[in-house]
Chain A
Amino acid sequence: MTNWEWPLVFFTVLSQMAVGYLALVVPATAGGKGNHARIYLLPAGLLAAAMVISLAHLGHPENAYRALTHLGSSWLSREVLLFGLTFLLLVFTILVARAANQFLVRVTAVLALGSGLLGILASAMIYVLPARPAWNNFNTVLTFYLTAFLLGPALGLFMQRFSPGPAAGVEGSATGRALALLLVLSIISSLSYLSLLAGAGPEARLTVHALVASPWWWLRVVAGWLAPLGLSYQLYRKGHGSLALTLALLILLLAGELMGRALFYGTAVPLIEGLL
């Protein structure tokens, strides 16, 4: 077990939540209704916070700008570019939303979403490395998108209960069902991931052992998957959750994803450990 990499944990989870939220609100506001400036402030702020936090990972954050200089082969360069672009497009969207040019708002919002979704792909591809068998598979990409699509709707649902606004389309029952399905998918994919690793090389098996032996992993299973699954089922049944329920759902999912991401970094045994 190497490093929990907290700045990266927060950066990836928060940026993915921001993009997931965008994925929820961009189609919902496609009709041109609502206060766009207010709606896009949240993902823009989240993304900015995520990127600032990511600087804490660097040994020399003052030279972070240089990270844009190797787009030719570095997924990290591409990630910085794409998330930077997403942020700029969101800022632009907020600015033009005041000018009420609805077409331009829609175009830039959709572009921001597209750039954000590609940014998640770039984020994931950074870690698809043969040197880390635990990361070197499709699960990394799937996990990153699942984080986005779990946290985005949960955030949207909460925001709507917290301050019912124009960004409709966050319908309780449908969201509950979607979250439940995504959680089931998370659990199934995670199980298949573990069995995949168990059948792979010795370093991958070390990762499985580390995960299964970690109390944090089991906490993540209970708090991040099983409990939210119960809550989202409630939501699906009742069609309308209280503020407390949506808050609980958001907190549980966020905590679960953060723990899961920390485990992602902390248990990826490098190939070279096979020599130790």
Chain B
Amino acid sequence: MKRFLSSLLVILTIALFLAGCGSSKKSVSVQSGSTDENYRGVIYQDGLQGPESGKPNI
């Protein structure tokens, strides 16, 4: 009987642990930011070809 109870206790502990894991899902949040820390933009110029021509702003 004692062994039965102790094994039962072990099972319960495992079940509780699993339940705990299941209920606390990894949390992701809304985030935004830069992917290139060195990006300094582009200077667009009218004289160059095309409407979106420009040179890197280094």
Which residues of A pack against B, CB within 8 Å? 215-216, 218-219, 222-223, 227, 230, 234, 242, 244-245, 248
Say whether B4 contacts A223, CB under 8 Å. Answer: no
Interface residue B8 (Cβ < 8 Å from any Cβ of A)? yes
| 5 tightest Cβ-Cβ pairs between the two chains A and B | A215-B22, A215-B19, A219-B19, A219-B15, A222-B15
Say whether A222 contacts B11, CB under 8 Å. Answer: yes
Say whether B8 contacts A248, CB under 8 Å. Answer: yes
What are 15 of the A-B contact pairs (CB < 8 Å)? Answer: A215-B20, A215-B21, A215-B22, A215-B23, A218-B15, A219-B16, A227-B8, A227-B11, A227-B12, A234-B1, A234-B4, A244-B2, A244-B5, A245-B1, A245-B5
* Chain B residues touching A, majority SS: helix
Say whether A215 contacts B18, CB under 8 Å. Answer: yes
Q: Distance in Å from the Cβ of B55 to the closest Cβ of chain A?
A: 51
Say whether B15 contacts A244, CB under 8 Å. Answer: no
Q: Measured between alpha carbons, how far is A122 from B56 in the docked complex, in Å? A: 76
Q: Distance in Å from the Cβ of A227 to the closest Cβ of chain B?
A: 6
* Chain A residues touching B, majority SS: helix
Q: Which residue of B lies closest to A222 (CB)?
A: B15
Residues on the B chain within 8 Å of A227, using CB: 8, 11-12
Say whether A242 contacts B1, CB under 8 Å. Answer: yes
Q: Measured between alpha carbons, how far is A248 from B20 in the docked complex, in Å? A: 22
Query: Chain B interface residue count: which class?
Result: 10 to 19
Q: Measured between alpha carbons, how far is A222 from B16 in the docked complex, in Å? A: 11
**Beyond A219-B19, A230-B8, A248-B8, 8 extra complex contacts between A and B, CB < 8 Å:** A215-B19, A216-B19, A219-B16, A223-B15, A227-B8, A227-B11, A244-B5, A245-B5
Q: Measured between alpha carbons, how far is A222 from B21 in the docked complex, in Å? A: 17
Q: Distance in Å from the Cβ of B9 to the closest Cβ of chain A?
A: 9
Q: Measured between alpha carbons, how far is A230 from B5 in the docked complex, in Å? A: 11
Say whether B12 contacts A223, CB under 8 Å. Answer: yes
Q: Measured between alpha carbons, how far is A223 from B12 in the docked complex, in Å? A: 7
Q: Distance in Å from the Cβ of A217 to the closest Cβ of chain B?
A: 9
Q: Measured between alpha carbons, how far is A198 from B52 in the docked complex, in Å? A: 57
Q: Measured between alpha carbons, how far is A219 from B8 in the docked complex, in Å? A: 13
Q: Measured between alpha carbons, how far is A227 from B16 in the docked complex, in Å? A: 14
Q: Which residue of A lies closest to B14 (CB)?
A: A222
Q: Measured between alpha carbons, how far is A227 from B6 in the docked complex, in Å? A: 12
Q: Measured between alpha carbons, how far is A245 from B1 in the docked complex, in Å? A: 8
Residues on the B chain within 8 Å of A219, using CB: 15-16, 19
Q: Measured between alpha carbons, how far is A218 from B19 in the docked complex, in Å? A: 8
Say whether A244 contacts B22, CB under 8 Å. Answer: no
Residues on the A chain within 8 Å of B12, using CB: 222-223, 227
Say whether A248 contacts B5, CB under 8 Å. Answer: yes
Q: Measured between alpha carbons, how far is A215 from B4 in the docked complex, in Å? A: 24
Q: Measured between alpha carbons, how far is A216 from B22 in the docked complex, in Å? A: 9
Q: Distance in Å from the Cβ of A126 to the closest Cβ of chain B?
A: 28
